[in-house]
Amino acid sequence: MIPFLQPFFKILYDTSGLIQWGGLTAIFIIVFAETGLFFGFFLPGDSLLITAGVLAAAGYLNLLHLIVLATVAAILGDQTGYAIGRQMGKLLFRKKDSFLFKHEHLERAKEFYDRHGGKTILVARFIPIIRTFAPPVAGASEMKYRTFVVFNILGGMFWVLSTVLGGYFLGKVIPNLEHYINLVIFIVVFVSFIPIAIEYLRRRKK
């Protein structure tokens, strides 16, 4: 990691502190950027939403407002990614690596899309990194817009509801869980990267 960025990442991955500082606005921006912009692949979408659910259970956030806002951000993010991919077309796959863009992630999303088709937009919501690159791949591959919108809305709703409500119900069942949020985040990150590890092992066997 570049040394001068370490303080930034420290703040970014302190999801509890970030939410208490920026509230729903911070949640909207991060969810939108992670799902809609290439550089958003490193943002903590899953852990952020689960943390938000835990904090909603503790009374820091309004649950309904959280769900609605995060869902809108997720849907708009994917729509933006699709529009970027549609605009760039095949040029997207010739884009060179940069600090904010990794061609390897794009290729991984393309392989996933080739295997699963339209369902990629729904399933990818639950897979870090693939989640960011699947919409532009769908756009560049000329997925029908109506099909994309359906999978986008369903995926956005399922992702937000499962993560936020998961955190909310955990927060209700386990007293003072908000004080142990780092442990929760560790478990979430570990579980969310299991599909990536499985995919990596599958590719190595080829």
Q: What DSSP character marks residue 206?
A: -
Q: Mean pLDDT in the chain?
A: 84
The rounded distance, in Å, linking the Cα atoms of 1 and 56 is 32
Tokens of 117: 């088709």
In this prediction, residue 201 carries a pLDDT of 67
80 pLDDT more than 90: yes
Name the least confident of 79-83, 96-100, 141-145, 189-193: 96-100
pTM, 2 dp: 0.83
Range 107-129 average pLDDT: 85
In this prediction, residue 25 carries a pLDDT of 95
In this prediction, residue 1 carries a pLDDT of 47
In this prediction, residue 204 carries a pLDDT of 66
In this prediction, residue 180 carries a pLDDT of 75
CB 152 within 8 A of CB 160: no
- Report in angstroms the alpha-carbon separations of 44 from 34, 94, 188, 202: 8, 27, 10, 25
Higher pLDDT, 102 or 152: 152
41 pLDDT more than 80: no
- In which band, very low, low, confident or very high, does the pLDDT at 99 lie, cut at 50, 70 and 90? low
In this prediction, residue 51 carries a pLDDT of 92
Helix (H, G, I), strand (E, B) or coil at 101: strand
In this prediction, residue 128 carries a pLDDT of 83
38 pLDDT more than 90: no
Domain range annotation of the chain:
3-205
